[in-house]
Chains A and B, each alone.
Chain A
Amino acid sequence: MRSIARFQTAMAWGLILATLLLGWFGRDLAKALDARWLVKFPSAWVIHFKTKISAAMKWLVEEAAIGPVAFTDITRALAWLIEQPYELVLAFLAHGFFLDSGADPLVILPAISWIAVTAGVIALGHYCRDWGLALLVGACCIYLAVFGQWESAMVTLASVLIAVPIGAGGGLMAGIWAYRHPLGERILSPILDLMQTIPIFAYLVPILFMFGFGPVSALVATIIYATPPMIRITILALKAVDPEILDFGRMAGTTERQLMWRVLVPSASQSLMVGVNQVIMLTLNMVIIASMIGAGGLGFDVLAALRRLDIGAGFEAGIAIVVLAIAVDRLSQAFAERMGQIQHVQPGSWLARHKRTALVTTLLAVTWVLGQFSPLLLTYPESQTITTGVFWNDTVKYLNVNYFDLFEAVKVFFLHWFLLPIKKVLLGLPWPWAIAMLSLLGWRIGGAKLALLCAALSTLILISGLWSKAMITVYLCGASVILATLIGVPLGVLAALNRRAGAVVNLLIDTLQTLPSFVYLIPVVMLFRVGDFTAMIAIVLYALAPAVRYAAHGVRNINEELIEAGLVSGCTKWQLLRLVRLPLALPEILLGINQTIMLALSMLVITALVGTRDLGQEVYIALTKADTGRGLVAGLAIAFVAIIADRLIKAGARGARLRFGLES
């Protein structure tokens, strides 16, 4: 028994060493053997999925029809449905209502005044919680106005106001359907699983192709991205309703519909609000990515600034997104909290009970009327805006002039000793060996099925001609995930063991998570300029949170008796950590790393902006050229990488849980 185990360990180490060596010397070896096809898949063998897909998409958009209804009619109808409310909200918040759309259109009603919006937001903050919140969100509004981001922010807000109700409502409906019909859940749950592993931009290009470049495409992509968690939370929340409440509803003689809408949904409303908050956060997360396919507003400003490498402007717009996100997030959370609290109806007239509403409405009307005479009341005067762009540019210049050597040294150190070796090994690895090893790993961890999945997906990537780009993806993500794990897991363990550290770490992680993904990119680009190192730092920052969270959770939730058993047998603090806590928290830690990988992969298309050469860049190029086939194939390749990683790690975590008897 023991000798077999020892042999297996030896084998595993041997194989790892062989893989590393093969990778390191792969190129030389291939050259020596005159077999370059080992490291570079011959282009003659590539199957051109992308042209086939492009053709299929073309057919779909141009010819496909069910009877007299063409596919394009459906997409057009959908687009129309989304566009109408969006145009309305947009006109109300940002552009105003016009009579005709000529060169000099007649304004019927200008957009809502910044003063009225600010007052409304303050009133909402006060209504939902207290003056503290009112002040915070009011300050957010004033920041947006003073720093000249008002109009862009309103455009972004308009898309949030459209995407969130559709996403939350649609998610609720889908969740209810899945709750009611077992078949629904059986259909939805694998789709949801898949959506979680497919990075957003895999479906950006097809959406672009179907709906065209513009805000509608952006909204569709945002909704598709933001809805799945709502579905999941709805199913869970409905299932978690006390069975007695369900029985009560039935005994009261409710019809199916009454049972759902008057008993179950209200009882589950607290958890459902968590889902809505998720939808809001994901929607804000999508702001910049959505601007790649036509959303305007702050996201577009950031993207444009990044493309120009105008650090200052990008940073300003980025901060504006954060400010908007904070305001919307805090408001929605406070609103949810208030919904869960007890509200006694106050006596008095309608006016007495709705002071805030009356005040804001009056203000709105007054600013509209008086705005005819004094534009100051409608739009914040441009001459009074402050721009910090110059300041940021100067700061960066200063840092770069004075600390250039330091930054450069850090960068070179990481590149030389960390990034480049990994890159060299991965790119030099002969693909037959890589696929074989991957399948072997799948077989060891999850049996024949997993091995087959690994082999099939990696082969598909190979024959689509994206092998080396996929390897760069793996390298960039892998390096970032390693770094994120090295930083995140210790932080999580610290947070779990020490209360004060826990509070600090939690605050840090919360902040990191409310920031939209590419806000991380801007300061890093400022200091380290474009390149792999910059991409890595941005990915690490973005993907750090789950590693910390899951590790902390895993360490905290260990059975107290096991800790006591360790203490009684005389473990020191370190031994306790090393021998009891960490091994038992391993399954959770693995799941956290899994999430980290998923986030890292979804960051790729953003880091493509700073000139990486991976699958993300492939998608990005396809986006700019609206090349469906290319975008879809590259997107799917990323999805395959994600699925392989996800299944391997989940199987590993399950194995660990089985070994510890936490699951049977």
Chain B
Amino acid sequence: MPLKTKLSCRNVWKLYGANAERFLDRDMPPSGEDLRKAGIIGAVRNASIDIAEGEIFIIMGLSGSGKSTLVRCLSRLIEPTAGQVLFDGTDLLCANEAELIEIRRHKMGMVFQHFALLPHLTVLQNVMFPLTIQGVAKSQAAESALEVVELVGLKGREAYYPRELSGGQQQRVGIARSLVTEPDLWFLDEPFSALDPLIRREMQDEFLRLQARLHKTIVFITHDFEEAVRLADRIAIMKDGEIIQVATPEELVLNPASDYVAEFTRHIPRSKVLSVGGIMSAELTGEGDPIPQVTRISAVAEEIISADSPRPVCDGDGRIIGSIGRNAVAHVLFGSGEAS
């Protein structure tokens, strides 16, 4: 289904250093080598992406690869050195101060790695904050805030101060606060990186549950590929400020654009990434209930392997489009890791 593009950027650059603008005025975009010689840091280099409405778009990369900078260019917290950022079809970089404030008040929300809660306000006041600065009446703001506080499971803790909460709870406050204005576009900059692994998984589930209800357009940063695979519709991989590949998790595993991407995907159990549709054979044979093609292998591996004959595979409308047998599954589970 062709989706409407919500947010896109075209040839966005962010360079740090003296005379960085002049550097881009040439015919040829500068290479990494050029920049290094001139002593300029290329935090984001020539990034172009399109993010569809309702999509979870994940930006991945090692520390210092420019993820935060790119997201801050998309929300214009940082002024890009060059390029275009189109939000709902209009160029965000042309918006003036007042328009920008309007857009941020009503259409964007952001969650931060270290929560960025205001220490002098209670949970409820923190969540109300974006509304109060818009001048929404206090009772109404409190009502909306209570709703989202309940949504993130913090009911009963409205009067606590941030310091009195655990990290996971603090991030729930951060999430509630970013949702209270009902934004269309939701930025999350490594929201779960500061949390323990167990809490992190719990928060990821929570996040998916929220998204299933709210259908926001999401730009999510992480440096954890497992997290990306669990949450993403599509993933953009960044290295040294450049976007190397944008693809679904499955495509990344099956067709990595470079060794660098392959290295990222290596330690992930394939069965958790690949779907039945990706490895099925085109023969329309098989017995038993059809398996939807989007199902992850890990979810049905046991069933298929214990069955004697291949199972049919169907598409979204229930039409049979192929079949999958135990050999293919075993190859994914125990194979050398190279996609066939």
Contact = CB atoms under 8 A, between A and B. Distances in A.
Contact of A262 (B108, B110, B133): B133
Interface in A572-613: none
B113 A252 contact: no
B167 to A, nearest CB: 14
Given A263-B118, A269-B120, A342-B161, A248 B110 contact: yes
Chain A CB within 10 Å, residue with most, of B72, B120, B130:
B120
A258 B133 contact: yes
Contact of B101 (A247, A253, A262, A269): A253
A250 B187 CA distance: 13
A266 B116 CA distance: 13
Contacts of B115: 244
Interface in A193-236: none
Contacts of A345: 159
Interface in A341-357: 342, 344-345
Nearest to A342: B161
A267 B120 contact: yes
B105 A252 contact: yes
B109 interface: yes
A242 B162 CA distance: 15
Contact of B116 (A245, A255, A342): A245
A9 interface: no
Interface in A320-374: 342, 344-345
B104 interface: yes
B147 interface: no
Chain B CB within 10 Å, residue with most, of A250, A266, A344:
A250
A244 B114 contact: yes
A336 to B, nearest CB: 13
B74 to A, nearest CB: 11
B116 A242 contact: yes
B163 interface: yes
Nearest to B100: A253
Nearest to B162: A342
B87 interface: no
Contact of B77 (A242, A247, A266, A267): A247
A568 interface: no
A251 B110 contact: yes
A254 interface: yes
A253 B116 contact: no
A255 B161 CA distance: 25
B157 to A, nearest CB: 12
Given A262-B133, A342-B164, A252 B104 contact: yes
Contacts of A254: 101, 133
A262 B116 CA distance: 14
A247 B105 contact: no
B75 interface: yes
B102 interface: yes
Contacts of B75: 251
Contacts, number: 62
B119 interface: yes
A53 B118 CA distance: 53
Contact of A251 (B104, B121, B159): B104
Interface in A263-278: 263, 266-267, 269
A342 B112 CA distance: 23
A251 B105 CA distance: 7
B11 interface: no
A344 B159 contact: yes
Contact of B112 (A248, A255, A258, A266): A248
Given A252-B130, A253-B130, A244 B104 contact: no
Contacts of A242: 114, 116
Contact of A252 (B120, B133, B164): B133
Given A252-B105, A342-B161, A267 B118 contact: yes
A262 B119 CA distance: 12
B105 A253 contact: yes
B129 interface: yes
Given A253-B102, A342-B164, A245 B118 contact: yes
A242 B110 CA distance: 16
A253 B112 contact: no
A248 B116 contact: yes
A345 B159 CA distance: 9
A252 B179 CA distance: 11
Contact of B134 (A247, A253, A263): A253
Contacts of B105: 252-253
Interface string B198-223: 00000000000000000000000000
Contact of A266 (B103, B106, B118): B118
Nearest to A269: B120
Interface in B78-133: 101-106, 108-110, 112-116, 118-121, 129-130, 133
Nearest to B159: A344
A323 B296 CA distance: 76
B77 A251 contact: yes
A19 B149 CA distance: 77
A529 B101 CA distance: 69
Contacts of B118: 245, 263, 266-267
Nearest to A266: B120
A269 B120 CA distance: 9
B72 A247 contact: yes
Interface in B273-323: none
B127 to A, nearest CB: 11
B133 A267 contact: no
B77 A250 contact: yes
Interface string B28-68: 00000000000000000000000000000000000000000
Contacts of B109: 251
Interface string B171-186: 0000000100000000
A263 B134 CA distance: 14
Given A248-B116, A342-B164, A253 B133 contact: yes
A528 B63 CA distance: 67
A255 B101 contact: yes
A269 B102 CA distance: 28
A345 B119 CA distance: 16
Contacts of B133: 252-255, 258, 262
Contacts of B102: 253
A263 B178 CA distance: 16
A147 B102 CA distance: 64
Contacts of B121: 266
B185 to A, nearest CB: 11
A488 B112 CA distance: 47
B104 A253 contact: yes
A533 B119 CA distance: 53
A247 B116 contact: yes
Contacts of B116: 242, 244-245, 247-248
B163 A342 contact: yes
A258 B104 CA distance: 14
A244 B102 CA distance: 20
Nearest to B114: A244
Chain A CB within 10 Å, residue with most, of B101, B108, B164:
B101
A267 B115 CA distance: 14
Nearest to A259: B133
Contacts of B101: 253-255
17 contacts: A244-B112, A244-B114, A244-B115, A247-B77, A247-B116, A250-B77, A250-B104, A252-B104, A252-B130, A253-B130, A262-B133, A266-B118, A267-B118, A342-B161, A342-B164, A344-B159, A345-B159
Given A248-B116, A251-B77, A267-B119, 19 more contacts: A244-B113, A247-B72, A247-B77, A247-B112, A247-B116, A248-B112, A251-B110, A252-B104, A252-B105, A253-B101, A253-B103, A253-B130, A253-B134, A254-B133, A262-B133, A266-B118, A266-B119, A342-B163, A342-B164
Closest 3 CB pairs of A and B: A253-B105, A253-B104, A244-B116
